[in-house]
Chain A
Amino acid sequence: MKKSLWIMLTCLLMMSFLVVGCNKDAKTLGNYTIATIDEVKSADIVVDGRANETYAGWATQNNKKGGHIEGATDFSVNWLTATYDDKENLDGMTRDEQLKQYMENKGIDKDSKVVIYDENGKDAVKVADYLTSQGVKDIKVFDLNKWEDKLVAYENYKLYVPPVVVKDLIDGKEVAEIGKVEDLKIVEISWGTEEESGYLKGHVPGAIHVNSDSFDDEDNVYLLEEDSVLFDLAKSQGISVGSTVVVTGDPIFACRYATILKYLGVNEVYVMSGGVSGWTDAGFKLETKSNKGAAISDFGTTTPKNPDLIDTVAEVKVKLSDSKFMLVDNRTIEEYRGETSGYSYFDKAGRIEGAVFGYAGVGNSSSMLYYRGLDTTMRNGYEIEAMWKKAGVDTSKHLSFYCGGGYRAAEILWDAMVLGYDDVSLFADGWCGWALAGEKSVTGK
């Protein structure tokens, strides 16, 4: 009996060695085991390690498969290397602090079973190396080229155009998502003259500079100018309803002007993602010469074609009583509570009664921490939607976004449109316009 027991134990031991030997045949990439499709489907967290725009939907020369595996989150390899100043940034956070925050947002902790995928066999390893350095132990990698199921994308992902696609457009190449371009206009939006804004130090080739003060009313605490001024501004740059416009610059500036152009009636308006640093990070050179648009006299319409895209104080006042209307306050929590106006030159603090706090940033009226990655690309759309849900933003209603003066809210409006929300608008005058008009407001939690 004892002898047969020994024989059985020996056989069992040999079989287990065999099994281990078989596992040694499993392929690895870097220090990581390559996951099977079944392992991807059963993983706790599936992470897309490619650029955010690719996750959003763009197929580019770098990544041929636009979109992402359903249920996957993103952790862009660009976050590890994108231009970012640890000391001088709007959020007051270092890159390391930002990355740790992203891990938390995505529910990645030391005990998570994570599968990271890419297309080039490099991005996933870099992201995996970072997560390993943060103590995540169970990481596998996956080649997205082996994925046969359909990928999903944001409904209007094309509204944010990656720099590599902007380069194609400038070079005259046809981009499937955008179609044939007859009249391409690249504009760069920032505050100040060409000298003051830094435009002459470097901008996307061919871009025309637009000073944000040219569409903000200096005599009215920089609220949005009248339609006639907006039309004249567009015409001075040679922009008409038939133009294809790519707006570059910091996203809050770019999205504000892009929203204005859409409001006026330009159908094809896109915002380059990542700002100017996104362009240089992609390996493209900046141009330093001044470009001027050839002014035109006919815009194509004399009244805004999409008037519902921008709300005025009077319109918001009426709509607030509509149960299908929701005002979303996109400022810091201190501005929302009325502890500060957010602007040193504007004294009145508070919020519009009935507005739901929809986040923006922290510490100052330019931070967009809750809506951006550190490479200034749009935050994961599902995280934005989850944040809205938690905050009480009812997406079944018409959403009108506002902030202090319509910049931060414009970026969030653009994000919402990227995600496919079409019943949305920008309350451009925001809190400053509301308070200046002497309308009712509240403070506190």
Chain B
Amino acid sequence: MKKKVGYIVLGFLSLLQVIGGAGIFFLDDLSGKKVGVNHHVIIRKKEFISTWMSNSQVDMYKLVLLVIVVLAVLYVIYQLFRRENWCKYVSTFLVILLSFLLYFELVLEVFQSLPVYMYLLYITAGILFIEIIKALVQNLLLHKKYDK
């Protein structure tokens, strides 16, 4: 029963991530077609950057990401040493990748120039957060499934 709930939760969370990812592509496409959408995302981006993206704030976000990456790397190394099934830490590995993606979104001009930049950050952060929850679910609820 515990496993069943775990799988349902994982499936639901994965669906949320797919919807979020698809949503950002859809919004990006729409912002190149509709003036109202384009102006909305650009103005919201400007407001967002002036409110939430000062140098000190970005440094703080980088620090948070660094902490997440360090913890995730340590956990993956620990699991490798224990020779655990890779399924057990695949989410943790994805957490590391997503953290790097979010880091690049914060610092690279190519991302910052996108009209949907604010939503891109929101969605990536959301997907990362969900992936962390998924990692916890995998390790807490589905622990026995992957045990040798």
A-side residues, CB < 8 A to B, are 191-192, 196, 212, 218-219, 221-222, 343-346, 365-366
Contact = CB atoms under 8 A, between A and B. Distances in A.
A433 B32 CA distance: 25
B43 A345 contact: yes
Contacts, number: 26
A212 B46 contact: no
B32 A345 contact: no
A191 B35 contact: yes
Contacts of A343: 36, 39-40
Interface size band for B: 10 to 19
B32 A221 contact: no
Between B32, B33, B35, B44, the greatest number of chain A beta carbons within 10 A of the residue's beta carbon is seen for B35
Given A191-B35, A192-B35, 7 more contacts: A212-B35, A218-B42, A222-B39, A343-B40, A345-B40, A345-B43, A345-B44
A344 B40 contact: yes
Nearest to A344: B40
B38 interface: yes
Contacts of A218: 42
Given A196-B32, A196-B33, A191 B44 contact: no
A191 B33 CA distance: 9
B46 A219 contact: yes
A197 B15 CA distance: 34
Contacts of B42: 218
A221 B35 contact: no
11 contacts: A191-B35, A191-B38, A192-B33, A192-B38, A196-B32, A218-B42, A221-B43, A343-B36, A345-B39, A345-B40, A345-B43
Interface string B34-74: 01101110111010000000000000000000000000000
Contact of B36 (A196, A219, A344): A344
Classify the secondary structure of A's interface with B. Answer: loop
Classify the secondary structure of B's interface with A. Answer: helix
B34 to A, nearest CB: 8
B43 to A, nearest CB: 4
Contacts of B44: 345
B98 to A, nearest CB: 28
Interface in B61-100: none
A219 to B, nearest CB: 7
Contacts of A222: 39, 43
B49 to A, nearest CB: 12
B113 to A, nearest CB: 13
Contacts of A366: 36
Between A196, A343, A345, the greatest number of chain B beta carbons within 10 A of the residue's beta carbon is seen for A345
A41 B40 CA distance: 54
A366 B43 CA distance: 19
A212 B38 CA distance: 12
Contacts of B43: 221-222, 345-346
A221 B36 CA distance: 12
A346 B46 CA distance: 13
Between B32, B40, B43, B46, the greatest number of chain A beta carbons within 10 A of the residue's beta carbon is seen for B43
Interface in B14-42: 32-33, 35-36, 38-40, 42
A191 B39 CA distance: 10
Nearest to B43: A345
A343 B46 CA distance: 16
Contacts of B32: 192, 196
Nearest to B46: A219
B44 to A, nearest CB: 6
A74 B38 CA distance: 38
Contacts of B38: 191-192
Nearest to A191: B35
Nearest to B45: A345
Contacts of A345: 39-40, 43-44
Contacts of A219: 46
B58 to A, nearest CB: 21
Q: Which 8 A-B pairs have the closest CB atoms?
A: A191-B35, A345-B43, A345-B40, A344-B40, A196-B32, A222-B39, A345-B44, A345-B39
B7 to A, nearest CB: 38
A148 B32 CA distance: 55
B38 to A, nearest CB: 7
A187 to B, nearest CB: 18
A254 B33 CA distance: 18
A239 B58 CA distance: 46
A191 B32 CA distance: 10
A21 B36 CA distance: 65
Contacts of B46: 219
B47 to A, nearest CB: 8
Nearest to B42: A218
A199 B36 CA distance: 18
